[in-house]
Amino acid sequence: MVEIESMVPIAAVVDLVLGIATLSIISRSQGASTNNRIVGCVLGWILVFLGLSYIMTSILEFRYGALADFSAVNRDKVGGTFAFTAKNLLLSSAYMLMVLLPFFFPFRIINREWDLWFLLAGVCVACAAFTAMHLMTNFEHFQVENFLFIPGYVVLISMYIRFITTEVRDSDERLRKISVVVGLLLIGIHGETMTYWLSQVLSINDLFFQRQSIQSGLSISAAAWGGINTRLTLGATAMLVLCTGEAWRSFKVGLSPFGVLTFVIFIIGFVAGLADVAVLDVVRSCYQTQCEAFPVAYTIWYDFTSEALVYLYTPILFMFILLHYDIVDTKRDENRWLIRIIVILMLLIVSSTILELIQSFLPIPDMISSAALAIVVGIFIGWEERIVNSLIDDSSSIQETVPDFALPEIEHDFASPRLFNLVFGGVTVFILIVSLLFTGLGVLG
Amino acid sequence: MSSDEAITSRSLLVTRESRVPTAVALLVTLVMMTVTMVDFVGDLQATDTFTSETPEWALTFEVQTYTMQAVETLQDDETRILEFDMAEVTVPEGYAVGSINVTITSEEEEGISVQCDSVAGDLIENGLTAQWNSPMSSLSGQDSSCQPIDLALQVYPDFDGRSATISASNEYQAMQHWLQDGWGDGVLLVELDLDVNSPLGIDPIGQDTDEEITVDVTVVMFKANISLIA
């Protein structure tokens, strides 16, 4: 048996590898459309920001032992450190890109000459504004940016319902690709909070945050609590909408893999809600008596569901979107070998992590887990071509799949990956310098 | 979608069929957000008060005692160890043993001398769970003036029987220190030592050779009460 270990370092590697590879492929895909270049760069930089943020979280974890329940960082221990400041600001930047992504993918909703500038300037301005606010208020309002997810949520929910109803009405299977990718985006953005849907419906998540606040001695603002609650509510209702939509579609058309994925997350959320109710005494203990630790079974459940979804499956989900929707040019031979490496690497990393997790609570000897890993490696090597081909060969862009729904594309010659890399790279450098400076000044704590 | 129908951003989001379910979904979101926000804000206020203010609590003790006695006759130069099993003490529900007070009394009644005998008493440190090294414990005493010897052993940490004001986040944490189990378990050993004294050291007929010594053991038990100071 091994200790349950954090998945954050794994997530950091996976996100960074995928993000950098995406940006690298996009840079070499000269013939890609403007939309795909924009979306590819946005997805790539989301992964890079998340990866860098996870690296900082890993530093906090290993250097300070600062991770508490639910992978929350104990600010008592690390408030004011470089890693803590950079982690939050990088996460905030990733949020900004996630907020704007629904306006560009699967459809470029705004579709004006200025929408690209809106994207770039929006991220820069929001990043600068939130950085300033967080540094001046000592991260008291961190998570207030969650309110900005509301417009994107409205867009994605409306689009999902619109395309699933039209698909069933017209029996137009092409439209399924749209509702699936919208659903995947919702899971990618709100995946973690979807696993808390029942707790949010029962309105008990507030007690968990109350516990976290007391445990870490946090004095957070109403704005931050509002932001947290908004994200939880968006995740819960997104789950309910997806589940209702997929149930209705399964009844009318038949079960689909995305429907199965949705139902699995729905059931996970249901069980998680019951588990949350079961541990409410432990949750309330911080307030009523003295903080008690969660049962081991509860922690294992959380590791396997919510945490695994955020840290392991979300990057794979983004990888699937990138490849299956032809956002990166998968047809070119020079990109294909890199895509193969990425796919196999990510599947192996995730498989080995899952095996380690299983080993953490089941008394499986190392010999058996090594053999199991070897079997997984063998399967992936043997079927490598098949796995990659099934991802790539069926891939087609949204414009190719439903040309009649594609808005006339506005070409921006300047919308090059270089511009995105310059702007978002600048944001990254800005965050790192500001974090270093403010940590050195000792004004945070 | 018919080909003559122009695609707009709006038509990508809503159609006639999807209008109602979309409105319902957004309405549900709004309602859930409002309901949970009210809960969150309520908890925020409670948490803020909890983390930012540490209320003061008045701590008082209800005290009861349990007494044991042993009367022993010791010969000159004899050392004897008496045992008092604490398991015999009946501790009421909710009470804990706070301290043990021992009084050793000798009676000078035999012989023709009026010289007091020399009596020494010690509490012997053993497995009895108590604060043996506390400055409030008095483990040894000696007397040759016919006065009682008072010994004391503090059992419960920090217990002195006096009321106090303490700061704590909630009632449980305020009471936590006073809810420990296991103190006062074991056997109390009292060692007695007698040295008979004769006037000018002369006892020609050998009458004054022993002494009756009474050992009174008083076990002080307490129950802590806490109340919020408004």
Please determine, looking at this structure, whether the domain spanning B56-228 carries the CATH number 2.60.120.380: yes
Taking the C-alpha atoms of residue B67 and residue B84, their distance in angstroms, rounded to an integer, is 11
In chain B, the residue whose alpha carbon lies closest to the alpha carbon of A402 is B1
Task: Spell out a b/e string for B30-67, using b for 16 or more CB atoms within 10 Å of the CB, else e.
Answer: eebbeebbeebeebbeebbebbeeebebebebeeeebe
Residue of A nearest to B14 (CA): A162
Q: What is the pLDDT of residue B202?
A: 57
Residue B221 CA to residue B159 CA, distance in Å, equals 10
Q: Are A68 and A215 in contact (CB under 8 A)?
A: yes
- Identity of the residue numbered A69: D
Which pLDDT score, from 0 to 100, does residue B21 have? 94
Cβ pair B44:A228 closer than 8 A: no
**How many angstroms separate the CA atoms of B172 and B15, rounded?**
58
Measure the CA–CA gap between B226 and B169, rounded to whole angstroms.
13
Rg (CA), chain B: 36
A332: its two tokens: 């070119």
Q: Is A147 on the interface with B (CB under 8 A)?
A: no
What was the ipTM of the complex prediction? 0.87
Instruction: Copy the structure tokens of residue A100.
Output: 């704007």
Helices (H), chain B: 9-13, 16-52, 171-176
Q: What is the pLDDT of residue B110?
A: 46
Give the containing element (helix H, strand E) for B122.
strand B118-124
For B8, which residue in chain A has the nearest alpha carbon?
A: A407
Q: A214 CB near a chain B CB, below 8 Å? A: yes
Q: Chain B: which residues have CB within 8 Å of chain A?
A: 1, 3, 7-9, 12-15, 17-18, 21-22, 25-26, 28-29, 32-33, 35-37, 39-44, 46-48, 50-52, 170, 172-173, 176
A407 neighbourhood in chain B, CB within 8 Å: 7-9, 12
Cβ of B15 within 8 Å of Cβ of A107? The answer is no
How close, in Å, is residue A58 to chain B by CA atoms?
28
CA dist., res. B160 & res. B105, Å (int): 24
Kind of pairing between the strands at B140-143 and B118-124: antiparallel
The shortest CB-CB distance from A203 to any of B39, B44, B52 is to B39
What's the confidence (pLDDT) of residue B4? Answer: 44
**Helix (H) or strand (E) segment spanning residue A281:** helix A280-288
Partners of A155 on chain B (C-beta within 8 Å) are 13
Where along chain B do its domains lie?
A: 9-52, 56-228
Tell whether A230 is within 8 A of chain B (Cβ): yes
Chain A residue nearest residue B25, CA to CA: A241
A 310-339 residues with CB below 8 A of B?
A: none
State the DSSP code for A311.
I
pLDDT at residue A219 in the model = 67
Cβ distance B104 to B148 under 8 Å? yes
| Residue among B32, B40, B50 whose CB faces A225 most closely | B40
Looking at residue A386, its pLDDT comes to: 78
The residue of chain B nearest to residue A198, with distances taken between CA atoms, is B32
pLDDT of residue B168: 82
Helices A222-252 and A176-194 cross at an angle (nearest 10°) of 140
Q: How many CB atoms lie within 10 A of CB A265?
A: 21
Cβ distance A158 to B176 less than 8 Å, yes or no, reads no
* Chain B closest-CA separation from residue A221 CA (Å): 8
Contacts of B26 in chain A (CB under 8 A): 154, 157
- CB pair distance less than 8 Å for B51 and A236: no
Give which of A171, A201, A210, A248 to mutate to test B binding, by max B Cβ within 10 Å: A210
Q: What is the pLDDT of residue A242?
A: 96
Q: Which of A158, A287, A407 sits opposite B14 (nearest CB)?
A: A158
Please tell me if residue A151 touches chain B, with a CB cutoff of 8 Å.
Answer: no
Specify the length of chain B in residues. Answer: 230
Nearest to B18 among A153, A165, A232 (CB): A165
Q: What is the pLDDT of residue B111?
A: 46
Q: What is the pLDDT along chain A (445 residues), one digit of tens a residue?
A: 345 467 888 889 889 988 998 898 888 877 777 788 888 999 999 999 999 999 999 888 888 776 666 667 777 677 778 888 899 899 999 999 999 999 988 888 887 778 888 888 988 999 889 988 888 888 888 889 999 999 999 999 999 999 999 999 888 888 898 999 999 999 999 998 999 999 999 999 888 888 887 776 666 788 888 999 999 999 999 999 999 999 999 999 999 999 999 999 999 999 999 999 999 998 888 887 777 888 888 888 888 888 888 888 888 888 888 888 888 877 777 777 778 888 887 777 777 777 777 777 777 777 887 788 788 888 877 777 777 777 777 778 888 888 887 777 776 666 678 888 899 999 999 999 999 888 877 665 5
Our CA-based measurement puts residue B130 at a distance from the nearest CA of chain A, in whole angstroms, of: 26
User: A289 touching B, CB under 8 A?
Assistant: yes
User: How many angstroms separate the CA of residue B228 from the nearest CA in chain A?
Assistant: 15
Per-residue pLDDT in tens (0 to 9) along chain B, 230 residues: 444 455 666 688 888 889 999 999 999 999 999 999 988 888 887 887 777 777 888 999 999 999 999 998 888 888 999 999 999 998 998 899 999 999 999 876 544 556 788 899 999 999 999 999 999 999 999 988 888 999 999 999 999 888 999 888 777 778 888 888 889 999 999 999 988 876 655 555 556 677 889 999 999 999 999 888 86
**DSSP per residue, B142-155:** EESSSPPEEEEEE-
Cα gap B224→B159, rounded to integer Å: 10
pLDDT of residue B29: 95
| C-alpha to C-alpha distance for A302 and A299, rounded to whole angstroms | 5
Nearest chain B residue to A165 by CA distance is B18
